[in-house]
């Protein structure tokens, strides 16, 4: 009967911990430790609760107790490493995880935590190496998938990011934060319809995310769904009146709908709030659509944007010289071709010169 009760305390505590009910978990871990002070599992569980609620020193004390009772407890080493990571003591965390590796060299959780420590330390090469090792040891580890995806996205490797976001979210579809970056990665891979689908899932749970509204709006814009794009940009501006990029793209959307007065008003507001590269390009293009001016002097210092926009105008007259010269810049300017203006240039090029279009596509891969 006593053994049953002890086991019951532990199960109740573990169940409460998984649900995020740390008050109940702590209560039953304490009961278990009081009745059975020589079983390391109670201290280990309680240390996990302490880490979650920010009582790091109490957690460390419990973890030391675990290792007194069971010096080969890998979970204790991992949790001690987490403690040191919270304190920004990354080298100490790595030493503990290396000790854990000697005890259990094929434990994927060790490599997962090593990946997290190296990522926090800023060593992204070793971080990726360890996340990949964790995934090889446990192909069902969604945390490793999503971590590889996140690092790949931050490095601008969007195709790799899409592959690992897709795999990670199949394993754990309820992990909401990943959907935003996944949607953005799809946008930068020019998969706009898929980006809309993923960002819509994110917005269903987080409807006030201006970033998600902005990227879904840009995806709608590239798909030619101007009214839906307009709605998303307007909603983003309602939430954040200082969001210059949303004004810029709402202006561009108005221009495609031939409402040039609103287009110019939004484009000018965007420049007041944030005179970044894409907002200056959008402004020049809106001026061209509304007034027919083709000099693009407002972006003359932006060599690539100026040349390719001029090349686009000349292309319509049968002159492809500028666009051929721009080829050498294309690889470095890949992300720009996800934007509406350059996406349209690419589509027009397909109609006017398929050979040059194929060369652009090759360099954009």
- Examine residue 148 and state whether it is found in any structural domain, yes or no: yes
Question: Which residue's structure tokens are 């991992």?
Answer: 78
Q: Across the chain, where does the E strand assignment appear?
A: none
Helix%, strand%, coil% for the chain, nearest 5 = 80, 0, 20
pLDDT tens figures, 92-118: 999 999 999 999 999 999 999 999 999
**Total length of the chain:** 365
Q: Would you tell me how many other CB atoms lie within 10 Å of the CB of residue 214?
A: 23
pLDDT of res. 7: 55
% of the chain residues with pLDDT over 90: 73
Tally of domains within the chain = 1
Are the CB atoms for 120 and 93 separated by under 8 Å?
A: no
pLDDT tens figures, 120-154: 999 999 999 999 999 999 999 999 999 999 999 99
Q: Is the model's pLDDT at 5 over the cut of 80?
A: no
Q: Is the model's pLDDT at 176 over the cut of 50?
A: yes
- Examine residue 196 and state whether it is found in any structural domain, yes or no: yes
- Token digits of residue 168: 């990670």
How many whole angstroms separate alpha carbon 173 and alpha carbon 138? 18
- Examine residue 181 and state whether it is found in any structural domain, yes or no: yes
CATH of the domain at 151: 1.25.40.10
- Examine residue 210 and state whether it is found in any structural domain, yes or no: yes
Question: Which residue's structure tokens are 């020049």?
Answer: 284
% of the chain residues with pLDDT over 70: 98
pLDDT tens figures, 211-266: 999 999 999 999 999 999 999 999 999 999 999 999 999 999 999 999 999 999 99
Q: Give the contacts of 353 (CB within 8 A, at least 6 positions apart).
A: 315, 320, 323
Consecutive H or E run containing 208: none
- Token digits of residue 49: 């609760």
Q: Is the model's pLDDT at 313 over the cut of 60?
A: yes
Q: Would you tell me how many other CB atoms lie within 10 Å of the CB of residue 65?
A: 19
Which residues form the domain of 177? 140-222
Q: Is the model's pLDDT at 2 over the cut of 60?
A: no
pLDDT of res. 328: 87
SS3 state at 189: coil
Question: Which residue's structure tokens are 């930068």?
Answer: 188
Please tell me which residue, 165 or 334, carries the higher pLDDT value.
Answer: 165
- Token digits of residue 251: 């202006």
- Examine residue 193 and state whether it is found in any structural domain, yes or no: yes
- Examine residue 324 and state whether it is found in any structural domain, yes or no: no
Query: Closest Cα to residue 247, out of 276, 223, 225, 224?
Result: 276
- Examine residue 355 and state whether it is found in any structural domain, yes or no: no
Mean pLDDT computed over every residue of the chain: 92
Q: Give the contacts of 227 (CB within 8 A, at least 6 positions apart).
A: none
pLDDT tens figures, 268-286: 999 999 999 999 999 999 9
- Examine residue 261 and state whether it is found in any structural domain, yes or no: no
User: Which long-range CB contacts under 8 A does 220-226 form with residues at least 24 apart?
Assistant: 220/192, 220/196, 221/249, 221/252, 221/253, 221/256, 221/340, 222/192, 222/338, 222/340, 222/343, 223/192, 223/193, 223/196, 226/253, 226/256, 226/257
């Amino acid at each position: 009967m006593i053994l049953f009760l002890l086991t019951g305390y532990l199960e109740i505590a573990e169940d409460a911990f998984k649900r995020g009910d740390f008050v109940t978990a702590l209560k039953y871990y304490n009961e278990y430790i009081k009745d059975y002070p020589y079983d390391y599992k109670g201290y280990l569980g309680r240390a996990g609760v302490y880490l979650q609620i920010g009582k790091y020193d109490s957690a460390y004390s419990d973890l030391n107790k675990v290792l007194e009772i069971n010096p080969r407890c890998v979970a204790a080493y991992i949790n001690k490493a987490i403690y040191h990571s919270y304190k920004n003591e990354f080298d100490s965390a790595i030493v503990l995880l290396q000790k854990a590796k000697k005890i259990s060299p094929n434990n994927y959780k060790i490599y997962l935590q090593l990946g997290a420590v190296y990522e926090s330390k800023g060593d992204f090469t070793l971080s990726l190496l360890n996340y990949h090792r964790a995934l090889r040891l446990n192909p069902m580890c969604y945390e490793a998938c999503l971590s590889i995806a996140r690092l790949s996205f931050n490095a601008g490797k969007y195709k790799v990011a899409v592959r690992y976001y897709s795999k990670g979210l199949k394993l754990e579809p309820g992990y909401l934060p990943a959907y935003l970056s996944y949607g953005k990665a799809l946008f930068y891979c020019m998969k706009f319809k898929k980006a809309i689908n993923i960002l819509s899932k994110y917005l269903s749970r987080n409807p006030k995310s201006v970033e998600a509204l902005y990227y879904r709006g840009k995806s709608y814009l590239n798909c030619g769904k101007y009214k839906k794009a307009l709605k998303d940009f307007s909603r983003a501006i309602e939430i954040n009146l200082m969001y210059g990029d949303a004004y810029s793209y709402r202006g561009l959307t108005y221009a495609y709908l031939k409402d040039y007065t609103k287009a110019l008003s939004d484009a000018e507001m965007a420049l007041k709030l944030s005179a970044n590269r894409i907002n200056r390009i959008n402004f020049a293009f809106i001026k061209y659509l509304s007034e027919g001016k083709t000099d693009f002097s407002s972006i003359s210092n932006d060599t690539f944007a100026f040349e390719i926009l001029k090349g686009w105008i000349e292309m319509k007259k049968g002159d492809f010289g500028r666009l051929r010269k721009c080829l050498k810049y294309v690889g470095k300017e890949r992300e720009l071709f996800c934007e509406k203006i350059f996406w349209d240039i690419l589509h027009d090029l397909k109609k006017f010169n398929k050979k040059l279009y194929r060369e652009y596509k090759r360099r954009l891969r």
